[in-house]
A and B are shown apart, each in its own frame.
Chain A
Amino acid sequence: MNHTTTSPSFSPSLWNLACARLVRDKIGMLSLGIVLFFILLSVGSFTGLIAQNWDEEIAVNYAPPSFLDTSKEHTDTVSRPVIARQQINLYGLHDPLSAVLNQIELAHPQDTMPPNDEKKLTHLLLGADKWGRSVALKTIKGSETSIMVGLIAAIVATCIGTVLGALAGYFGGWVDDLLNWFYNVFTAIPYLLLIFAIAAVLNQKGVTTIILILGLTGWTGVFRLIRAEYLKHRQREYVLAAKAMGASHYRRMFIHILPNTFHVILVQLSINVVGFIKSEVILSFLGFGVPVDVVSWGSMLNEAQNELVLGIWWQLLGAGAAMAILVTAFSVLTDTLRDALDPKVVA
């Protein structure tokens, strides 16, 4: 043993070892970086630091991405059709409101006569959508929705699964039977079918609704593993020692045993986030998810589906690539975490 770096009494904990393994894993660190980058993006967009004005129509309709740009000119003059009312009278029609409207026009000249040389961009970083909104900003805004939904729903599902699993595994007996019955019922119905059924019943779109649907249906995997962990731990010496010292059931369950199951919880949380992001995209795509005024990768893919036939592929690229990169990075991170936290692996 090298006494210059570690004192003889120091024994690295599971978390020290896991961090050391994680840092050594280059691909794991890269995926952690990508995941953190996406989370930062969505936090930034949530707090309004970036992509705040994503819904401004800054470019012409379906402006192509700037890397396709060949010309030097970056703005285009869009003339808005302004029908002069005087013209109507040329056709011999009598306009009864003409006098009133002229008065209004004189009072508020800027409202009725829009500047018809409004500058609009012809090219944008990642192109523009049907209304001329930036696809890059929409993708960032979509990341916010998808990641927020995925994270919050995963936290809800993991909390439910952990508490129920702890109760079932720790107490056993009729509590275990009852909760196992719950588990069997929820796993008997295929996951997507259950989600669709709840979506049909609730019949209202909204971010909270999706979080509720995913959170209330996704707890089963965590439950099974945490229950097994508690079954294993409840008769260990340290728990019996805590009992001998007079620790209550609550203290033994959540202060003594719970920290020893954190590695399972963390990996399950990570798996759930990936699964829920995918589910949210499918739900929003089918129109059972977020409302129309909220951008998500799913609603972007929905718009992209019709645009592709017109040869407009940038919205598909934005949402599809962002989702693929995040989900790949998250999956790799989950695998790395699982390996790093596995106590059976010798460092």
Chain B
Amino acid sequence: MWAFFIRRLLQMIPTLLGVILLVFFLFNWVGGDPAYILAGKMASPEDIANIRHQLGIDQPWYSQLWIFIQQIVSGNFGDSWATHESVSHIFATRLGPSLVLLIPMMVIETVSAVCFALLVSVFRRSILDQSLMVLSTVMMSISLLVYIIVGQYIFASWLGWFPVKGWGDSLWRNLTYYAPLPIFLGLMVSIAPSLRLYRTFILDEINQDYVRTARAKGLTESRVLFKHVLKNAAIPILTNLLMSLPGLLTGAFLLERFFAIPGIGREIILAVERSDFPIIKAATVYVAIATMFANLAADLLYRYLDPRVSLK
């Protein structure tokens, strides 16, 4: 186990270097000269030279790359080009709202998707199973944009059950007043894919020999389902859940934008609109690192939960 853990950690180094090189290549080479973006329309050559010196882009590419690596290690990406707020402060303050939105969403999504998946697995190939599968395909196909536009209009503007948009300071009020509508609309698109995935996990288990043995022993159907099938199907479900955790860090782009929730997703969209490169660079690199660690954790969890799996 330890040998595997250390080997995987070492394998992450080239991937991390690759991510750094890719981001560096995109923003420092493809992106052109940021001094022209920063200096505005009426810039004198001296201004541009000054900004280029401040950003360090008048230096050769290897020293720029070194500056970038130092930024990643120290976590200090400087200030936002648009608002001059420090990038680390932006991420620290925007993470909270994103988590308030996404953690309840993830919990409800997982619990309800597992329940529905168990239900349709028990009644598989019945009318209930087929109609739920058709319904989930249709629900997945409607764009989140349509759900948001229609939902915001019907439930907030027209019926007035929820606020149209906004965010407060108190956690309780955010959770009970501002967050429910976006969470509900997000669930409309996110439950269906999880349901379909978990259904296949459960169906994989339900046809196994050990399930037939359990039934032959005379166990009740609910005991077979919860004690035997669900316990085994939980392994891929849990690892899948663990691998989706880094998504919490990017926030929910569309939901946060529409409902004016000051989270990371909205900040990233704003940064793309304003060509605010430091924010996008920092987000890309750190989320990639989080993704790599989540994948490693998922592998380890798989190994821990299922001793039959041998790690190579």
In the assembled complex, the Cα of A262 lies from the Cα of B22 at a distance in Å of: 31
Q: Write out the residue numbers on chain A whose beta carbons fall within 8 Å of the beta carbon of B288.
A: 188-189
Q: Write out the residue numbers on chain B whose beta carbons fall within 8 Å of the beta carbon of A298.
A: 145
Q: Write out the residue numbers on chain B whose beta carbons fall within 8 Å of the beta carbon of A323.
A: 141-143, 146
Residues 258-293 (chain B) with a chain A CB within 8 angstroms: 268-269, 271-273, 275, 277, 280, 283-284, 287-288, 291-292
In the assembled complex, the Cα of A201 lies from the Cα of B27 at a distance in Å of: 6
Which of B43-51, B119-127, B170-178, B246-254 is the interface stretch? B246-254
In the assembled complex, the Cα of A304 lies from the Cα of B69 at a distance in Å of: 44
- Known pairs A196-B280, A197-B280, A199-B272; A328 contacts B137 (CB<8 A): yes
- Known pairs A282-B145, A324-B143; A188 contacts B15 (CB<8 A): yes
- Known pairs A184-B18, A194-B284, A196-B268; A324 contacts B141 (CB<8 A): yes
B31 at the binding interface (Cβ < 8 Å): yes
A198 at the binding interface (Cβ < 8 Å): yes
A35 shortest CB reach to chain B, Å: 12
A326 shortest CB reach to chain B, Å: 8
Docked-complex contact A281 and B143, CB < 8 angstroms: yes
B250 shortest CB reach to chain A, Å: 6
A93 shortest CB reach to chain B, Å: 38
Q: Write out the residue numbers on chain A whose beta carbons fall within 8 Å of the beta carbon of B246.
A: 190
A163 at the binding interface (Cβ < 8 Å): no
In the assembled complex, the Cα of A55 lies from the Cα of B269 at a distance in Å of: 30
Docked-complex contact B142 and A185, CB < 8 angstroms: no
Docked-complex contact A320 and B283, CB < 8 angstroms: no
A333 shortest CB reach to chain B, Å: 11
B205 shortest CB reach to chain A, Å: 19
Q: Write out the residue numbers on chain B whose beta carbons fall within 8 Å of the beta carbon of A308.
A: 149-150, 153
- Known pairs A190-B287, A200-B275, A328-B137; A281 contacts B145 (CB<8 A): yes
- Specify the chain A residue showing the minimal Cβ separation from B23: A197
Q: Write out the residue numbers on chain A whose beta carbons fall within 8 Å of the beta carbon of B292.
A: 188
- Known pairs A301-B143, A301-B145, A316-B146; A181 contacts B14 (CB<8 A): yes
Of B31, B137, B275, the contact of A331 (CB 8 Å cutoff): B137
Of B145, B257, B284, the contact of A193 (CB 8 Å cutoff): B284
A192 at the binding interface (Cβ < 8 Å): yes
Q: Write out the residue numbers on chain B whose beta carbons fall within 8 Å of the beta carbon of A109.
A: none
In the assembled complex, the Cα of A193 lies from the Cα of B30 at a distance in Å of: 17
B200 at the binding interface (Cβ < 8 Å): no
- Specify the chain B residue showing the minimal Cβ separation from A309: B157
Residues 137-189 (chain B) with a chain A CB within 8 angstroms: 137-138, 140-146, 149-150, 153, 157
A332 at the binding interface (Cβ < 8 Å): yes
B19 at the binding interface (Cβ < 8 Å): yes
Residues 203-217 (chain A) with a chain B CB within 8 angstroms: 203
Of B22, B149, B283, B287, the contact of A305 (CB 8 Å cutoff): B149
- Assign chain B's interface to a size class: 35 or more
Interface centre among A184, A192, A201, A309 (most CB of B within 10 A): A201
In the assembled complex, the Cα of A285 lies from the Cα of B143 at a distance in Å of: 11
Q: Write out the residue numbers on chain B whose beta carbons fall within 8 Å of the beta carbon of A327.
A: 141-143
- Known pairs A188-B292, A316-B150, A324-B146; A288 contacts B272 (CB<8 A): yes
Docked-complex contact B26 and A197, CB < 8 angstroms: yes
In the assembled complex, the Cα of A221 lies from the Cα of B134 at a distance in Å of: 25
Interface centre among A188, A278, A324 (most CB of B within 10 A): A188
Q: Write out the residue numbers on chain A whose beta carbons fall within 8 Å of the beta carbon of B257.
A: 286
Docked-complex contact B138 and A197, CB < 8 angstroms: no
Q: Write out the residue numbers on chain B whose beta carbons fall within 8 Å of the beta carbon of A278.
A: 143
Of B23, B140, B141, B153, the contact of A309 (CB 8 Å cutoff): B153
Q: Write out the residue numbers on chain B whose beta carbons fall within 8 Å of the beta carbon of A40.
A: none
Of A184, A197, A331, the contact of B284 (CB 8 Å cutoff): A197
In the assembled complex, the Cα of A200 lies from the Cα of B247 at a distance in Å of: 20
In the assembled complex, the Cα of A288 lies from the Cα of B26 at a distance in Å of: 17
A15 at the binding interface (Cβ < 8 Å): no
- Specify the chain B residue showing the minimal Cβ separation from A302: B145
- Known pairs A190-B246, A190-B287; A181 contacts B143 (CB<8 A): no
Residues 216-273 (chain B) with a chain A CB within 8 angstroms: 246-247, 250, 253-254, 257, 268-269, 271-273
In the assembled complex, the Cα of A264 lies from the Cα of B22 at a distance in Å of: 29
> Which 5 A/B pairs are nearest by Cβ-Cβ distance?
A185-B18, A327-B141, A328-B141, A201-B31, A320-B146
Residues of A within 8 A of B (CB): 181-182, 184-186, 188-190, 192-194, 196-203, 278, 281-282, 285-288, 298, 301, 304-305, 308-309, 316, 320, 323-324, 327-328, 331-332, 335
Apart from A186-B22, A323-B141: 18 A-B pairs, beta carbons within 8 A: A181-B15, A184-B14, A184-B18, A185-B19, A188-B15, A190-B291, A196-B280, A197-B23, A200-B271, A288-B272, A301-B143, A301-B146, A305-B149, A309-B157, A316-B149, A324-B138, A327-B142, A328-B141
